[in-house]
Amino acid sequence: MIHFDQVYKRYPSGREALAGVSFRIERGDLTFLTGHSGAGKSSILKLIALIERPTRGRVTVADRSTATIRPRAIPLFRRGIGVVFQDNKLLVDRPVADNVALPLIIAGVPRKEIDKRVRAALDQVGLLGKERNRPTELSAGEQQRVGIARAVVAKPPLLIADEPTGNLDPDLAVEIMRLFKRFSDVGVTIVIATHDVHLVDRFDARRIVLGDGRVAAETPR
Amino acid sequence: MNVGAYVDRHAQTLVGSIGRVADAPVAFLMTMTVIGIAVALPLCLFVFLQNARQAMAGWNDAFELSVYLTKSTTPTRTREVAAQIRSRDDVANVRVILAPQALAEFRRYSGFGDALDALQENPLPNTLVVTPTPAASTAAGTAALRRALRAVPDVDQVQLDTQWVQRLIAIVDLLRRVVWLAAGLLGLGVALIVGNTIRLDIQNRRAEIEVMKLVGASDGFARRPFLYSGFWYGFGGGALALLLVAVAVAWVSAPVSRLAHLYGSGFSLTGIGVEAGAVVLLSSSLLGWLGAWIAATQHIRAINPS
Ligand SMILES: Nc1ncnc2c1ncn2[C@@H]1O[C@H](COP(=O)(O)OP(=O)(O)OP(=O)(O)O)[C@@H](O)[C@H]1O
Ligand SMILES: [Mg+2]
C-alpha cells in the first residue's frame, strides 16, 4: 500500500529531516511509526498525504508514485486518505456533524446519504448524540474521536494519524488506539506516528523506529 | 457526481454564505454601504442626465429663426417673402410680424414704452419667425437654413436664438460619456472593494481552508462560499444604491416640478425605472462575484496545509 524507496527530505531551512528512508507497508497493516522528537515521523506522514514532496527518492501510495500526481490531482488523491491530526484541526464554529460530514460534502455525496454515514461514523467512535454540539463543548478525547470519525467517514482505504493520543491521559490513549485497531481489523491500512513507546508496546502491531531521518529498527520484519 | 448533488451543494453554500454574512453583520453592512455609495454616484448623474435630455426634448420644437427684412420692405413684399420661405422643404411654419405689431409687442413686454414714444419712427423692421421641420431642427440643419435665408432678396439679418440649446445638448452628450466612464471606474472600484473584503475574509478563515484542503477539497470547492459572499456584497450594494437614488429623486422631485411649472412646462422628474434598476442590480452582483472570484482564486491557491 505504501512504499518508501531511498527517500530524502530537506526542508527549505536546510534541515535534512529524512536521509534515505526505505520501508514497505502492506494493505491492511497497522503500523506504528516511532522515534525521538525530530526523527522525521511527521515528515513521513506529510509525504504520504502529499503535504510535502520528497527531495529525492520515490514515494508510492496505493500503487501510484506520488511524483506523477500533479497539483490539480491532489484533492482527489487526498480523498483516498483519512488523516487524524494531533491538534484535531476541527472547525470550531461548526457543529460536530458538519465537521464529520466535510469529506462527504467535498466528495459530492447526496444529502440523505451524508446524514446516514455521519451517524454511522459517530456511532463507531461512541459519540452518537453529540451531532449538534460544537467541538469546543467536548472533552479533548471526544474532540480527538470527532477527528477520527471525520477521517473514516468516507471509508478511505488508508488512514494516517500523527500523535493521535498526544495530549490525552493514558486510559483515553489506549481507548483511541483500540479504536484504530478495530478499523484495521476490517481491512483499513493504518499508519500511526507516536513517540509513546509504552502505549505501542501494548499492541501487537508492526513498528518502524526512526532515528535521525533513517529507519533505525523495524519489527517484525 | 450527479446533478442533484451538485445543485444541492450550490444551494447549501448560497444559503450558508448568508449565514457567514450574518456572522459579521457590521463588516458586511460597512462594505455594502461603501459599494452602495460607489454605485449611487454615477447612478445619480445618470438619472440627472436622463431627465435633462427628456426636458430638452421639448425644447427642440422651439427652434426658431428670426428673419429681419430690410427697412424698405413693404407689407405686401413681406408676405411674398414669407410665402417663398414657407415653400421650402425644411420649413414647417412661417409667422409674419409686421413692424407696428412688433413695436406693440415690444412696448408691452419690455417696459421701454416711454423711451419708444420719444422716437420719431418705428425702429423695428418687418419680421418673419421661421420654424424648421423637426428633421431640420439640428445644428447642421438650422445652420444651412440660416445661410439659405440670408440669400433671399430683401432679407437683412437672420438670427438663430436657440444656439445655446444645442450647446447644452452637446454638453449633455459629453456628460453621458462621463457617466459611462465614471460607471466603469466605479465598477472597477466595486470589484476591488469586494476583492479586498474577500481577501481579508480568506485570511480570517485560513485555518478552515487548510482543513478543507487536507480532507480533499479542490481550490474551486474552497472558493465557492466566497463567490457567493461576493455576490451578496454586490447585490446588497446595488440594492442600497437604488434606494439612495430613489430617496434623492423623491427629495428633489417636488422643487423640480414647481420650477418646471414656473416655466410653463409640465415636466416632472422620473426615477431610474424598473429595467435600468434590474441592470444595476445584476451588474453590481456580477461585479461582486467577479471581484470575489479574482481575490479568492489568487489567495486560496496560496494556502497550503502544512
Ligand atoms: N516545515 C519545516 N521546515 C523546516 N524544518 C522542518 C519542517 N518540518 C520539520 N522540520 C524539521 O525536520 C525534522 C523532522 O521533523 P518532523 O516533524 O518530521 O519530526 P517528528 O519525528 O515528527 O518530531 P516530533 O515527535 O517532535 O513531532 C525536525 O528537525 C524539524 O525541525
Ligand atoms: Mg511530529
Q: State the Cα–Cα distance between residues B46 and A8, nearest whole angstrom.
A: 65
Test B5 with A108 for CB contact under 8 angstroms.
yes
- Whether B13 shows a pLDDT value over 70: the answer reads no
Calculated CA dihedral for residues B254, B258, B261, B263, nearest 10 degrees: -120
> Would you give the DSSP letter of residue B179?
H
Residue B16: what pLDDT?
57
Give residue-wise pLDDT tens across range B264-282. 677 778 888 888 899 999 9
Determine the number of helices (DSSP H) and then strands (DSSP E) in chain A.
7, 10
- Whether B260 shows a pLDDT value over 80: the answer reads no
Mean pLDDT over the full length of chain B: 84
Give residue-wise pLDDT tens across range A30-43. 999 999 999 999 99
- Place B19 in a pLDDT band, splitting at 50, 70 and 90: low
**Pocket perturbation via mutation, ligand 1, pick of A11, A45, A86 by most ligand atoms within 8 A of CB:** A11
How much distance in Å is there from the Cα of A151 to the middle of ligand 1? 23
Strands A206-211 and A214-219: antiparallel
| pTM for the whole structure | 0.74
How much is the average pLDDT of B239-251?
93
Give residue-wise pLDDT tens across range B125-170. 999 989 888 788 777 788 889 899 999 999 998 987 666 777 777 8
Give residue-wise pLDDT tens across range B90-104. 898 899 999 888 888
Q: State the Cα–Cα distance between residues A59 and A40, nearest whole angstrom.
A: 15
Residue B304: what pLDDT?
87
Give residue-wise pLDDT tens across range A49-87. 999 999 999 999 998 999 999 999 999 999 999 999 888
Mean pLDDT over the full length of chain A: 91
Give residue-wise pLDDT tens across range B49-87. 888 877 776 665 567 888 999 988 899 999 999 999 999
How much distance in Å is there from the Cα of A160 to the middle of ligand 1? 17
Is residue B129 within 8 Å of B161, Cβ to Cβ? Answer: no
If phi over 0 gives left and psi between -120 and 50 gives alpha, with beta otherwise, what is residue A89? left
User: What does the domain layout of chain A look like in residue ranges?
Assistant: 1-80+156-221, 91-155
> Would you give the DSSP letter of residue B124?
P
- Place B1 in a pLDDT band, splitting at 50, 70 and 90: very low
Stated as kind and residue range, the H or E segment containing A83 is: strand A81-84
* Span of B95-104, B214-223, B283-292 with lowest mean pLDDT: B95-104
Contacts of B170 (CB under 8 A, 6+ apart): none
- Whether B173 shows a pLDDT value over 60: the answer reads yes
The third-level CATH classification (topology) of the domain covering B64-161 is: Alpha-Beta Plaits (3.30.70)
Residue A190: what pLDDT?
95
Q: What is the CA radius of gyration of chain B?
A: 32
Residue B202: what pLDDT?
92
Residue B5: what pLDDT?
58
Q: Using CB atoms, which residue from A90, A103, A109 is nearest to B216? A: A103
> Would you give the DSSP letter of residue B152?
S
If phi over 0 gives left and psi between -120 and 50 gives alpha, with beta otherwise, what is residue A83? beta
Q: Using CB atoms, which residue from A46, A91, A109 is nearest to B208? A: A91
Residue B56: what pLDDT?
72
Q: Which residues of A touch B (CB under 8 A)?
A: 46, 49, 51, 72, 75-79, 83, 89-91, 102-103, 105-111, 150
Residue B136: what pLDDT?
80
Q: State the Cα–Cα distance between residues B143 and B120, nearest whole angstrom.
A: 36
Residue B9: what pLDDT?
61
Is residue B64 within 8 Å of B131, Cβ to Cβ? Answer: yes
Is residue A208 within 8 Å of A218, Cβ to Cβ? Answer: yes
Residue B177: what pLDDT?
87
Q: State the Cα–Cα distance between residues A12 and A30, nearest whole angstrom.
A: 32
Is residue B84 within 8 Å of B96, Cβ to Cβ? Answer: no
Residue B11: what pLDDT?
59
Q: State the Cα–Cα distance between residues A141 and B255, nearest whole angstrom.
A: 72
- Whether B179 shows a pLDDT value over 50: the answer reads yes
Please tell me if residue B214 touches chain A, with a CB cutoff of 8 Å.
yes
Q: Which residue type is seen at B241?
A: A
Nearest to residue B17, comparing CAs of B218, B231, B192, B167?
Answer: B231
Test B217 with A107 for CB contact under 8 angstroms.
no
Stated as kind and residue range, the H or E segment containing B68 is: strand B65-69
Instruction: Return the ligand number nearest the Cα of A39.
Output: 1
Contacts of B140 (CB under 8 A, 6+ apart): none
Give residue-wise pLDDT tens across range A144-201. 999 999 999 999 999 999 999 877 788 888 888 988 998 899 999 999 999 888 888 8
Crossing angle (nearest 10°) for helices B25-59 and B219-262: 40
If you count residue pairs, one on A and one on B, with CB atoms under 8 Å apart, how many are there? 55
Q: What's the complex ipTM?
A: 0.89
Nearest to residue A219, comparing CAs of A31, A75, A35, A54?
Answer: A31
Percent of chain A clearing pLDDT 90 (strictly above) = 68
Q: Which residue type is seen at B280?
A: V
- Place B2 in a pLDDT band, splitting at 50, 70 and 90: low
The third-level CATH classification (topology) of the domain covering A1-80+156-221 is: Rossmann fold (3.40.50)
